[in-house]
Amino acid sequence: MKIKFSATVMLFATAIIWGFAFVAQVLGGDSVQPFTFNGIRFLLGAVSLIPVYCLFEKERELPPIEKQVRHRRTALGAVCGGLCLFIASSLQQYGTALTRDPGKAGFITGLYTVLTPVFYFLIFRKRTGWNTWLGCILATVGLYLLCLREGEGIMFGVGELVLLLGSFFWAGHILLVDRFIDHISPLRFSSWQFFISGALGLLVGVIFEEITIEGVWAAKWAILFCGILSVGGGYTLQVLAQRRAEPTYAAIIFSTEAVFAALGGILWNLITPENLHVDQEILPIGYVGCFVIFSGIVLSQLNFNRKREK
């Protein structure tokens, strides 16, 4: 499949935005609890897209019946995508708040790119090559190295476990987008799934968390970045790019999100005072683990049977 240059640019832009958002999620988690933080940022992202799809997603040319069918499919996709997004983002935010390490959170979350082709095989019986299974093994070894602590051995706590569980739902979200993308209005789909995810997050936050105006105000910049750029911009770019790129190709570029998460944490600590620093507790062997994880992710996405398929 020939990948358009614009799709590649959008995929990389998405990875950069999502990677840097891990720093904002750590900082926001210091003032606002996970469900509340996600609820506000996804609702903000949903609202920010309303004028965008009203202006640019023109469907006047479609017959009324076809338009109704399209909107019905968009609504169904948004419900499924919103539920999956709610679970995945909640686990990611909770795990990120526990670890307070953008780099580690990014690399563990990035394992969804290995899981994507595995799920394709298990659910849709799409043929999976040896490189996918080898990629899974490398990712597991890399995760072990990433979680090592000096004098303590492996440190795989609750935060790491929550992030790993979240990666399964991120993989599921990519599959959902791929299943619905050819039959929906992409910008409406993005906005509606954000609204569902945000409403669920805020509802759970109101029930189980303590919400204060002071806490929300203290996290305002993190919420704005994650709401407008990460949600409104990043997820919309994902949907638009996946209309022109295969899921596995999208996943291999999305895997660089982990690199940008680590880079974002390093840059943030360089330009801010110590009291605003995020944790960067990865040992030298942990960076080897990051490289092994990244290698496994890339290997799992390569197509060694392309010549045979031709």
- What secondary structure does DSSP assign to 141-159, as a single string? HHHHHHTEETTTEE---HH
Percent of the chain with pLDDT over 90: 26
Span 27-65, pLDDT tens digits: 998 899 999 999 999 999 999 888 877 776 666 566 677
More confident of the two residues 188 and 305: 188
Give the residue-averaged pLDDT of 126-149.
76
Q: What is the pLDDT of residue 281?
A: 66
Q: What is the pLDDT of residue 308?
A: 47
Q: Is the pLDDT of residue 309 over 50?
A: no
Q: Is the pLDDT of residue 190 over 60?
A: yes
Mean pLDDT taken over the chain: 82
Q: What is the pLDDT of residue 3?
A: 60
Q: What is the pLDDT of residue 86?
A: 96
More confident of the two residues 132 and 172: 172
Q: What is the pLDDT of residue 220?
A: 93
Q: What is the pLDDT of residue 253?
A: 79
Report the relative pairing of strands 153-154 and 148-149 from DSSP bridges.
antiparallel
d(CA 12, CA 255): 10
Token pair recorded at residue 47: 């609202």
CA distances from 147 to 22, 65, 105, 154, 162 (A): 18, 54, 11, 5, 14
Judged on CB neighbours under 10 Å (0-12, 13-18, 19+), 218 is middle
Q: Is the pLDDT of residue 80 over 70?
A: yes
Residue ranges per structural domain of the chain:
5-309
- Span of 14-23, 58-67, 184-193 with lowest mean pLDDT: 58-67
pLDDT band of 94, cuts 50, 70, 90: very high
DSSP state of 209: S
Q: Please enumerate in sequence order all residues whose Cβ is within 8 A of that of 217, keeping only pairs 6 or more positions apart, or say none.
A: none
d(CA 162, CA 157): 9
pLDDT band of 305, cuts 50, 70, 90: low
Q: What is the pLDDT of residue 152?
A: 58
pLDDT band of 151, cuts 50, 70, 90: low
Q: What is the pLDDT of residue 196?
A: 95
Counting every residue written for the chain, the total comes to 310
CB 172 within 8 A of CB 88: yes
Q: Is the pLDDT of residue 202 over 60?
A: yes
pLDDT band of 303, cuts 50, 70, 90: low
CB atoms within 10 A of CB 177: 26
Q: Is the pLDDT of residue 166 over 90?
A: yes
Q: What is the pLDDT of residue 214?
A: 93
